[in-house]
Amino acid sequence: MRRPSKDSSHKLSAESQRLVTFAQAVGQAASRIEERSWEHSLDAQLQKLLKTGHQETIDTTLNSLFKEDLNAYDVLMDSVEAVSESSTVTLEVDGVSRQFDVLLVAAPILAWTRFAIASGPIPGELLTTLSAHFAAHLLADGTQVAMSPTLFSIDQLPRSHVETYGKTSKLAQAALKGTVLKADTKVPDTAPFLADTRYLLAAVVAPAGAPLFRWQMPAAQANFIGERTEALEQWRTQATPTVARLLPGCGIELLLPEAYYMACREADKLIRPVSIRAAVHYLTHTLGVEPSELRAVIAGFGEEAGEGQVDEYRVAFTQRQTPDVIYGVVWPLYGQEDEEGTPPEGPLQGGIAGMLDKPVTPVDEITAHLNEAGVTVVKLHNERYVAEFCDDCGAPLFADPVGELAHAEMPEDAPTGTEHFH
């Protein structure tokens, strides 16, 4: 289950009601044939709304279902993501109509630095090299691909399902026609962080029903896990030097390119421990202290009307001899994560012993990463705070050792010449 966008009080329109009906029908279908029939109707309705830019209709329906029918909410969310990131297109080839499957793929890159993490246009030579490695090591034979000539930060990715649908369609046409798109010029500025994610976006096109990735090909299916692992290793080995040229001065790790929404969610989770390590590295080198001389303060934050729900943890850093917050890291929660932790998947994961194991909570994870980085003094506030931000700069406020919310500020005598981050 995913969390909805902000509450909306709009009365459901006829189009919204159709979405509700189809989503509920999918969830209550008694056979695969019936389920697929309802899914087809739901997808057709969503495609019409996405093509005509009716994002508000979709959002209103999702908000209504989140309150009234969580099962239908999940069905609709899965469907709108699928329809916006994938499609089937028909093309005339030598006078014959042919159908092609299209998938928008994101290739996430975890990056960390004491300076700035670049984003923006990708030079033509580097784009050609990345596209070649992407096709050679990840994609099935017979596919076509078009990679966006922009290295995106999370703030510059499509911000709605309608925008994602448009990006998928635009890249799909470029793949089918063999053309190169121009780099996005009007992209939002991105906030500077010590650790952040960058994304390559590409549309992969294959004849309808044919495999998209190498591990789906008939010869690879018996060992698809090993084939996927090998594809990732080859992608990392071959593409990392080129990506390093796009991200000078950064440590980088390439993640497995996957369907757009799945890749973004995985990257969101995996950047969190990198942010902890990057913060400790930055503070120890900038202040000339050892990790053991730092203290971390963990507190849960949520919306004022969130019924006690923790949406994110904020980790404040201080020096052990003072209470002043000098830096902070936000650890957001995603999907089924909550303050109690997510149980292992599967009914008998790890056998009977697995059933008795307590789920690892986010606080446990954060503490473990802090300890691994050398920070051994960790304070946890049990109080849940309302998520507040600085009125002047918009930076999140963090709980200090005594529980007061404070702005993260480096000491006045800290060496200059390094970027200031929130």
The whole-angstrom separation of Cα 131 and Cα 200 is 10
Whether 108 and 250 share a structural domain = yes
Whether 64 and 103 share a structural domain = no
The whole-angstrom separation of Cα 317 and Cα 324 is 8
Residue 336 lies in a domain: yes
Asked which of 66, 85, 104 is the last residue of a domain, the reply is 85
Residue 54 lies in a domain: yes
Are the C-beta atoms of residues 315 and 396 closer than 8 Å to each other?
no
Residue 7 lies in a domain: no
C-alpha torsion 270→275→277→279, nearest 10: 180
The whole-angstrom separation of Cα 178 and Cα 172 is 10
Whether 25 and 109 share a structural domain = no
Residue 306 lies in a domain: yes
What does the pLDDT read at residue 306? 61
Whether 81 and 110 share a structural domain = no
Are the C-beta atoms of residues 87 and 14 closer than 8 Å to each other?
no
Whether 166 and 294 share a structural domain = no
What does the pLDDT read at residue 79? 97
Whether 207 and 316 share a structural domain = no
Which residues of the chain, if any, have pLDDT below 70? 1-10, 306, 339, 341-357, 416-422
Asked which of 85, 115, 142 is the last residue of a domain, the reply is 85
Could you give the angle at which helices 224-246 and 124-138 cross, rounded to 10 degrees?
170
Q: Nearest to residue 287, comparing CAs of 160, 410, 131?
A: 410
Asked which of 235, 266, 297 is the last residue of a domain, the reply is 266
Whether 259 and 310 share a structural domain = no
Whether 69 and 152 share a structural domain = no
What does the pLDDT read at residue 342? 60
Whether 131 and 63 share a structural domain = no
Q: For the range 314-318, what are the long-range contacts, defined as Cβ-Cβ under 8 Å and sequence gap of 24 or more?
A: 314/385, 314/396, 314/398, 314/399, 315/276, 315/279, 315/366, 315/370, 315/398, 316/398, 316/399, 316/400, 316/406, 316/408, 317/279, 317/280, 317/283, 317/375, 317/408, 318/294, 318/400, 318/401
Residue 277 lies in a domain: no
Whether 214 and 334 share a structural domain = no
What does the pLDDT read at residue 94? 74
The whole-angstrom separation of Cα 23 and Cα 48 is 16
What does the pLDDT read at residue 413? 76
Are the C-beta atoms of residues 314 and 399 closer than 8 Å to each other?
yes
Residue 201 lies in a domain: yes
Q: Name the residue range of residue 321's domain.
A: 289-406
Whether 105 and 203 share a structural domain = yes
Residue 284 lies in a domain: no
Whether 102 and 166 share a structural domain = yes
Q: Nearest to residue 310, comparing CAs of 377, 361, 269, 268?
A: 361
Are the C-beta atoms of residues 162 and 56 closer than 8 Å to each other?
no
For the stretch 237-292, pLDDT in tens is 999 999 999 999 999 999 999 999 999 999 999 999 999 999 999 999 999 999 99
Place of tokens 């942010």: 275
Number of domains in the chain: 3
